[in-house]
A and B are shown apart, each in its own frame.
Chain A
Amino acid sequence: MSEARETILTLKDVETHFPIKKGVFKRTAGHVKAVDGISLEVYRGETLALVGESGCGKTTLGKSILQLVKPTGGKIIYNDKATERDLCRLSQKEMMEVNRKLQIVFQDPQSSLNPAFTVFGSLQDPLKTHGIKSKAERRKIIGDLLESVNMRREQMDLYPHEFSGGQRQRIGIARALSIEPDLIVCDEAVSALDVSIQAQVLKLLKDIKKERNLTYIFITHDLSVVEYISDRVAVMYLGKIVELAEVEDLYASTMHPYTKALLSAIPVADLDRRKKRILLEGDVPSPVNPPSGCPFHPRCNQCQDICKKVIPSLKKFETNGYEHYSACHFAEEQLSQ
């Protein structure tokens, strides 16, 4: 990695809380803290993986970045080389311009395409709103897009139910690419596909990234996918980032017990090398009333008194010459284990 990296997206204390309404008068009884104070920088041209188990707020964070879900606090600053803009405070018109540059690929290939329209029908409207007026031109662009995701031009006149899951996911990618974005949020983009198709789509994503100089935020719960595609990894737990590092660095010198547990869960295709499995007990605690102190302490096998009282902040360390962030009171002790 080069030294002077240009940030494309800066998140500062982003919070997305959902109110829980109760009773006849819709009194707010509490908040689901889906994303709870995340600060993060995304560099131009990298792939940042967001990992974590179900319900930890990965998808909400992805949608908050695109303003599909309005964040309740914090700043999301987007740098398009010329200007820096806070996405949370943009007017609708300004957001339209930014929408050209930020796109999303969804998880479920079943529901990500409109069943009532042909592929051309669903893909042409975004192009129309972004200023491509002639139909012939739109047909050409969509045809080119389909070819770039290894599909045939003529397939634009078919309906979604005529495609397989992998094909539909590739159409979803083509749609995200259609207005030439800088940054794509891939929200579990391959989780719903079977393994052989996963590999195909991942390779496609990688090739496209190289070709078009894209930045990915890759949301996933599958750590073997992370290893293949990403440059940096942010591990999330209960709406917070607990560890952030370069991918090799994270695998080599893990600095958070939660990440350790996640890594130990990757199956290894080697019968002789038995890995020690760290089993996490219980579920993710409710994001309505997060535990006091470190959110991970009820499930942590190295929990001490301080963990129950003090919330650990995301501290910067240096391992193997890389920046490495960890939110554990005993981050350095983790290294020696």
Chain B
Amino acid sequence: MNGTKKKITRLEKKFDRILMREDTGLIKKKKGSRAFRKLMSNRLAVAGIIIVSVILLAAVFAPLICRYDPLKLDLRNKLQKPSIVHLLGTDQLGRDIFARIVYGGRVSILVGMGSALTSAVVGVAIGAYTGYKGGLLDNIMLRLSEIVMAFPQIILVLLLVTIMGQGLRNLIIIFTLTGWGGIYRMTRAQMLSLREEEYVQALRAFGLNSFAIAYKHMLPNAVGPIVVNITLSTAMFILYEAALSFLGLGVPLNISTWGNIVNIAQDLRYLQFFWWLWVPGAIVISLFVLGVNFIGDGLRDSADPMQQG
């Protein structure tokens, strides 16, 4: 009023600088989807992505980075300590542990992701339709999933393994049979809240068929939590495979998987005196599961439009 200049605050200066840079064209419009940028700015998620992709790439290009065949026995050089020749040493049968871990990743990750994906397909397919339709079918599926989930999963898995026999394919089938309940119930719950939305009512007023409404129009709005659930259950299934193999009921012992590698720790002698036989395997399992969980958490946060990143 009386001629004194208004004090320019720091914030205003900063804003002026941003405006200037905008004018000169230094700031470009950000590319890519907002969710992706949010995921990339989440440090834990990026760490998870790096860990998981390193392990994945190693598993995929296993023949290129391993000097030894994971199945080749070398009884003369058994129980070697880690050295230049054998990076992580050799096991009780003289197999190279590094090669076993890298090749074992192929099977373990396949079981984990394969089971997570197939159980997601089954759970989402059932949950989306019955959740939207309701009625008798919904009731039956709900009870069925409750029956499956009421058993401790590991006991059910053990039971099925003894019935169906060991093996990679059987394991994936069993994990799907016992694991579809969680994702089914989550999808169903999402659909229950979505079906009250007015756009769904509008589609019904047009006489669209239920499949188109449920799968095409409603499902895309429920996909965020589903993707998160898939990543998290990948980690869970890898642990299950490890636990089963540890008990000797997973993939047959001659195929190396992360679980089979850790299996050796059942023997007290190896557990106490030959740490390199099982510690690296356990670390890789933990790292991979941790990485996948980080990615899952990051995805959940970035899929949530209410959260600013």
Contacts and interface: CB of A to CB of B under 8 A. Distances in A.
A71 B47 CA distance: 57
Nearest to B199: A114
B217 interface: yes
A125 B203 contact: yes
B75 interface: no
Interface string A27-66: 0000000000000000000000000000000000001001
Given A66-B205, A125-B216, A129-B207, A116 B221 contact: yes
Interface residues of A, number: 29
Contact of B212 (A92, A115, A122, A125): A125
A243 B199 CA distance: 32
A104 B198 CA distance: 10
Contacts of A104: 201-202, 205
B206 A112 contact: no
Contacts, number: 62
Interface string B78-104: 000000000000000000000000000
A179 B205 contact: no
Interface string A76-105: 000000000000000010011001001110
Interface string B202-220: 1111111100100011001
A107 interface: yes
A112 B199 contact: yes
* Residue from the set B206, B217, B220 with the largest chain A CB neighbour count within 10 Å: B206
A122 B199 contact: yes
Contacts of B204: 68
A176 B216 CA distance: 20
Interface of A: 63, 66, 68, 92, 95-96, 99, 102-104, 106-108, 111-117, 122, 125-126, 129-130, 172, 175-176, 179
A130 B199 contact: no
A112 B198 contact: yes
Contacts of B209: 129
A122 B203 CA distance: 9
B197 interface: yes
A111 B197 contact: yes
Interface in B161-206: 197-199, 201-206
Contacts of A176: 202
Given A92-B207, A125-B212, 13 more contacts: A63-B201, A96-B207, A99-B206, A99-B207, A106-B202, A111-B197, A114-B197, A116-B217, A116-B220, A117-B217, A126-B203, A126-B208, A129-B207
Contacts of A103: 205-206
Interface in B216-243: 216-217, 220-221
Interface residues of B, number: 17
Contacts of B216: 125
B190 to A, nearest CB: 13
A116 B216 CA distance: 10
11 contacts: A99-B206, A104-B201, A106-B202, A112-B198, A116-B221, A122-B199, A125-B203, A125-B216, A126-B206, A129-B207, A129-B212
Contacts of A107: 198
Given A95-B207, A99-B206, A179-B206, A114 B201 contact: no
A113 to B, nearest CB: 6
* Residue from the set B202, B208, B216, B220 with the largest chain A CB neighbour count within 10 Å: B202
Contacts of A92: 207
B205 A108 contact: no
Contacts of A113: 199
Contact of B208 (A108, A115, A117, A129): A129
A111 B199 contact: yes
A106 B207 contact: no
* Residue from the set A114, A117, A179 with the largest chain B CB neighbour count within 10 Å: A114
A315 to B, nearest CB: 34
B210 to A, nearest CB: 10
A332 to B, nearest CB: 41
A130 B205 CA distance: 12
A176 B198 CA distance: 13
Contacts of B212: 125, 129
Contacts of B198: 106-108, 111-112
Contacts of B220: 116-117
A112 B217 contact: no
Nearest to A114: B199
A106 B221 contact: no
A179 B205 CA distance: 11
A106 B201 contact: yes
Nearest to A109: B198
Nearest to B221: A116
A76 B193 CA distance: 30
A95 B208 CA distance: 11
A106 B201 CA distance: 9
A324 to B, nearest CB: 32
Nearest to B196: A111
B194 to A, nearest CB: 10
Nearest to B223: A116
* Residue from the set B199, B201, B216, B220 with the largest chain A CB neighbour count within 10 Å: B199
Contacts of A66: 205
A85 to B, nearest CB: 15
A92 B208 CA distance: 10
Nearest to B220: A116
Nearest to A104: B205
